Amino acid sequence: MNEFMKAMEFRHACKLFDDKKKIPKKEMNVILEAGRLSPSSFGLEPWHFLVIENVKIKEALRIACWDQPQVTTSSHFVVLLSRKAKFFKEGSEYLDESFGRKAKDEKTLKNAEKAFSNFVKKDLGTDVKNWAKMQVYIAGANMMSAAAFIGIDSCPMEGFNAKALRKALIKNVPPFDNKSYGIACAIAFGYGVDKRHDKIRWSLEKITTFVK
């Protein structure tokens, strides 16, 4: 527990990385596994991670990210994508595959899909896009925590022009499927060289209410 809390203290929004230092593949996979193993609503894991190491591609994306240096100085720039609403329509191939991993039979599968469909209709309405993005943020938070635990810095980024970043991905990253995924956020990973500041947070007493 003490080591984990040290990692939480270590983690900060790093603004400048050592662009000469690369994260070893084994350690980067630990970070990505933390994202993969994250919890999600209904267990639907509506995420996909674009892991960008190519310097020229990072330079092209930096323009859309308000020209922030952490994009190009990072070892790995990860764009976290969220699945679009079409994947979550009742009877979709994705729902069949997702719920089918746990369903024991066809009836269990259809009941699970029906429960999710009711959730969408009653609670989400047209806000499926935002629901999917919120699940991706959970994965992103776990990835940053895992990185901190093994001594790797990170910077979560929503500071970008979404339209421009989407165009840059379409042009420079062929695997990016614009019709299937939206951009939730991005995270830069690497070894920080910027000055660390004291972590300023509200006290636990100020942000917590115990109801007994």
CATH number (domain holding residue 153): 3.40.109.10
Mean pLDDT of the chain: 95
> What pLDDT is attached to residue 126?
64
40 with 184: CB under 8 angstroms?
Answer: no
Spatial distance between the Cα atoms of 96 and 103, rounded to a whole number of angstroms: 10
> What pLDDT is attached to residue 9?
94
Side-chain-side CA neighbours of residue 135 (13 Å): 23
The residue whose two tokens read 């999917």 is: 132
Rounded percentage of the chain residues whose pLDDT exceeds 70: 99
Measured from the Cβ of residue 114, the count of other Cβ atoms closer than 10 Å reads: 11
DSSP state of 38: -
143 with 32: CB under 8 angstroms?
Answer: yes
pLDDT score of 94 more than 70: yes
Does any domain span residue 116? no
Which residue segment(s) compose the domain that 184 sits in?
2-89+128-207
| Residue positions counted in the chain | 212
118-138 pLDDT per residue, tens:
898 888 766 898 999 999 999
Does any domain span residue 35? yes
Encoded amino acid at 119, one letter: F
Does any domain span residue 114? no
Spatial distance between the Cα atoms of 91 and 158, rounded to a whole number of angstroms: 33
Spatial distance between the Cα atoms of 176 and 165, rounded to a whole number of angstroms: 11
| Overall number of domains in the chain | 1
33-69 pLDDT per residue, tens:
999 999 999 999 999 999 999 999 999 999 999 999 9
Does any domain span residue 28? yes
- Please, which residues have CB within 8 angstroms of residue 9's CB and are 6 or more apart in sequence? 199
Does any domain span residue 63? yes
Q: How is residue 25 written in tokens?
A: 């593949």
Does any domain span residue 141? yes
Strand 76-83's sheet: what is its strand order? 47-52, 76-83, 181-190, 153-157
Does any domain span residue 122? no
With CA atoms as reference, report the closest residue to 15 among 79, 77, 68, 76: 68
> What pLDDT is attached to residue 72?
98
With CA atoms as reference, report the closest residue to 197 among 7, 3, 15, 6: 15
Spatial distance between the Cα atoms of 83 and 69, rounded to a whole number of angstroms: 28
44 with 131: CB under 8 angstroms?
Answer: no
pLDDT score of 209 more than 70: yes
pTM summary value: 0.94
pLDDT class for 197, splitting at 50, 70, 90?
confident
Does any domain span residue 103? no
